[in-house]
Structure 1
């Protein structure tokens, strides 16, 4: 059940492994599930990891050649962990490539949508994409506006960090608990649908 997705991988390169570990740790921030209503399921956790991967790879991709290379290695580790997780779930050798292609399509789709919205400062567009794609906890809907504000703040915070801080895995994400919506806005709402 994607167990490896939530612990550090075995990459021999310490910096990408530490960065990936920090991404996974932030994706498990309780406020994302308890208050922003991301489904605490395999799909919800996967989407939370993808969201934070996009933020970090966006920052690394804006850096020098070394940072871009590290970003590629972080992404490669993500793919390796996904492959291993699928096999742990019992997906056979013939089925893994097809599932991995699907995962790649999902990642690149999310990455393109999120990156465009972040680059344009389009909070409404980002919230719309999040509401459409992030699975919600049962009986609720994702607090998409709050989640978009969290992503925008995290993007700005990561952008302000130095290369030394980033390579030390000191990823300065915003605190998701500071972007919560009014509790009455997401109680007894229908579950948001998920698209690919």
Structure 2
């Protein structure tokens, strides 16, 4: 009986890994960087993975039972990926905990700000929150190329959240999480 628990964990990890791969592949769509104006940098890629993770957490938070437990495994995988990335760019063992704490604070801040805007259906607030995170050194302007890109990205987030809401819990638990490819509504 106890050996079946070990096999179950391996199966869960494989599903978590598959699901996380789908999530990161969705975050790497070239259109985010080419048309929405997200910088193709380490931080720009972090922003896109974090954005998709926020949407996953929101979708999973609507479920009961096994999907909620699965969510914790996804969050753990996300932070393991960040840890690995930090080490890969040369941060030593002593600097990793400080950086991880910073990334966790950044991520949960995004969860909060994006959720508030998504819950309110507020495209402008979501665009502004995205702009603060994606382009932290620029003042938000709706008429700038960055502002138009963030409005298009906000529209995509609303569409993607609706798409995720339509996916059955079982499909997600089987590693068949599907993200739609960004639709370009506004050119940057």
Q: TM-score normalised by the shorter chain: which range applies?
A: 0.7 to 0.9
Which ranges of structure 2 fall in alignment gaps of 5 or more residues? 1-9, 137-143
Q: Would the alpha carbon gap of residues 11 and 147 (structure 1) be closer, same or farther in structure 2, given more than 3 Å must change?
A: farther
Give CA-to-partner distance per residue, 1:46-104, whole Å, 9 cap, x none: 11100001011111121112101111100101111111221121111111100000000
Contact 1:127 1:147 in 2 (8 A): yes
Q: How many residues align?
A: 171
Q: 1:141 aligns with which of 138, 146, 150?
A: 146
Residues of 2 paired with 1:151 and 1:103: CA distance? 21
Contact 2:59 2:164 in 1 (8 A): yes
Query: What SS class does the counterpart of residue 100 from structure 2 fall into?
Result: helix
Instruction: Report which of the two has the higher share of helix.
Output: 2
The aligned runs of 1:1-196 (5 Å cut-off) are 13-135=13-135, 141=146, 143-176=149-182, 178-181=183-186, 183=187, 186=188
Q: CA RMSD in A?
A: 2.1
Residues of 1 paired with 2:181 and 2:80: CA distance? 28
Which ranges of structure 1 fall in alignment gaps of 5 or more residues? 1-9, 187-196
Residues of 1 paired with 2:30 and 2:87: CA distance? 27
Residues of 2 paired with 1:28 and 1:53: CA distance? 13
Residues of 2 paired with 1:124 and 1:135: CA distance? 15
Residues of 2 paired with 1:148 and 1:115: CA distance? 12
The structure with the larger Rg is 2
TM-score norm. by structure 2 comes to 0.84
